[in-house]
């Protein structure tokens, strides 16, 4: 105290402003934390409210019934089977294509205009609105290639949509593998492809899987591009089963079948004027959120584990 008394007035003023500025610092820390908390809590509250509204409808019957004009009888059987089949096609196309493209860009491409062109396109496609992919599907797959409003068209569309995600995560995963392992393989006489196939790809597979799951979780919630190709909302039948009881046992007819998916079913119910159907929509939304959260959570967990587990 005595010291402050004897200090020149200038310093006193500075000290006053220091404590004021420290207060500002503390205030901002609180504001920042509150901002994050409020934003997160609002969204979590919305999710929770949706789950509470939809919960009573989440019965066995809901998962095993077709859509219906009676809200209590309506269910999501055709929707979730449609979603599952579309995801199957999406994964079957996006994973090999995206991983191959990622390998090309990371391990093969020399720095020239061609690889620069591909890279610019990947970045740009990641920013194209999803509904534009729907227009592509409508004009190209549907009108030009005559694939129809089918599971195959939907799977192809969503595969192109998530392709940039798969490519970017594949590249990041490959880049994380130290060069010393590439040289070790080469030094033993491996060719470039042997090096990639025997070593780099297996070591990167965990991180690639993370990207694939994030991509698929995005695809499973996509609505707009599938509305554009005319995915029907009232589908009271299932596509032909892929496995048949008689020869040749495996059938690909389901690829050409009309379909609906969960987000479209939900959109349909939201758009209905009757408030009862909103409960169905909430239930479908809960299932959808549950699926995407589970997929994303699994991916985040995997990434965490691989970051921890890497020792090289």
Partner 1 sequence: MVEKVSTSLSSLSMLQPKAEVRNLNFYYGATQALKQINLVVPEKRVTALIGPSGCGKTTLLRCFNRMHDLYPGNRYEGEILLDRINILERRVDPIAVRMRVSMVFQRPNPFPKSIYENVAYGLRVQGLLKRDFIDHQVEQSLRSAALWDEVKDRLKDSALNLSGGQQQRLCIARALATEPELILFDEPTSALDPIATSSIEDLMSQLKQQVTILIVTHSMQQAARLSDYTAFMYLGEMLEFNQTTTLFNQPLHQQTEDYVRGRFG
Partner 2 sequence: MTNSSVQSSKLTRLTTHKASRDLRELAIHIVLFLAGFSCVATTIAIMYILILESTYFFQHISIVEFLTSSDWSPLFDPPGYGILPLVAGTVTTTLVALFVAVPLGTIAAIYLSEFASAKLREIVKPILELLAGIPTVVYGYFALLFVTPLLQWLYSFPAPLLSTWLPNLFPLELAGFNMLGPGIVMGLMITPLISSISEDAMRAVPVSLREGSFAMGATRLQTAIKVVFPAAFSGISAAYILGISRAVGETMIVAVAAGLQPNLTFNPLDSAATITAYIVQVSLGDLPHGTIEYQTIFAAGLTLVLFTLLCNIIGYFLSRRFREIY
Residues 97-126 that bind partner 2 (CB under 8 A): 97-98, 100-101, 103-105, 108-109, 115, 117-118, 121-125
Taking the alpha carbons of 266, 268, 272, 276 in that order, is the dihedral positive or negative?
Answer: negative
SS3 category, 250: strand
Is residue 72 a contact residue for partner 2 (CB under 8 A)? no
> Contact region for partner 2 (CB under 8 A) — 61-69, 72-80, 96-104, 174-182?
96-104
* Nearest distance from C-beta of residue 122 to partner 2, angstroms: 5
- The least CB distance from residue 243 to partner 2, in Å, is 30
Smaller CB distance to partner 2: residue 123 or 244? 123
Residue 208 near partner 1 by CB under 8 A: no
What gap in Å lies between CA 166 and CA 118, rounded to an integer? Answer: 14
Binding at 132: pick from partner 2, partner 1, none (beta carbon under 5-8 Å per type) = partner 2
Applying the rule CB under 8 A, the residues between 261 and 290 that interact with partner 2 are 263, 266-267, 270-271, 278, 281-282, 285, 288-289
Asked if 157 is part of the footprint of partner 2 (rule: CB under 8 A), the reply reads no
Q: Which of 90, 130, 169, 280 binds partner 2 (CB under 8 A)?
A: 130
């Amino acid at each position: 105290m005595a010291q402050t008394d004897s200090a020149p007035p200038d310093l006193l003023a500075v000290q006053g402003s220091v404590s004021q500025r420290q207060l500002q610092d503390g205030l901002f820390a609180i504001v920042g934390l509150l901002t994050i908390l409020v934003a997160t809590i609002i969204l979590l509250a919305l999710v929770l409210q949706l789950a509470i509204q939809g919960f009573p409808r989440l019965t066995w019957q809901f998962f095993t019934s077709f859509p219906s004009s009676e809200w209590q009888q309506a269910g999501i059987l055709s929707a979730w089977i449609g979603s599952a089949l579309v995801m199957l096609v999406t994964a079957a196309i996006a994973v090999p294509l995206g991983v191959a493209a990622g390998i090309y860009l990371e391990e093969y491409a020399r720095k020239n205009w061609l690889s620069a062109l591909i890279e610019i396109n990947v970045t740009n496609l990641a920013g194209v609105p999803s509904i534009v992919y729907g227009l592509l599907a409508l004009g190209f797959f549907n009108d030009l290639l005559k694939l129809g409003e089918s599971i195959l068209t939907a799977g192809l569309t969503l595969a192109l949509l998530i392709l940039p995600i798969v490519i970017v995560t594949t590249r990041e995963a490959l880049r994380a593998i130290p060069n010393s392992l590439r040289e070790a393989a080469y030094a033993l006489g491996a060719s470039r492809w042997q090096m990639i196939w025997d070593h780099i790809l297996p070591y990167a597979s965990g991180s690639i899987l993370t990207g694939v799951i994030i991509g698929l979780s995005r695809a499973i919630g996509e609505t707009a591009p599938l509305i554009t190709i005319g995915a029907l909302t009232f589908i009271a039948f299932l596509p032909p089963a892929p496995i048949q009881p008689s020869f040749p046992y495996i059938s690909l007819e389901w690829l050409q079948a009309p379909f609906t998916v969960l987000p479209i079913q939900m959109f349909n119910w939201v758009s209905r004027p009757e408030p009862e159907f909103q409960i169905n929509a909430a239930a479908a939304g809960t299932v959808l959120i549950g699926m995407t959260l589970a997929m994303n959570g699994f991916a985040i967990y995997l990434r965490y584990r691989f970051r921890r587990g890497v020792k090289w």
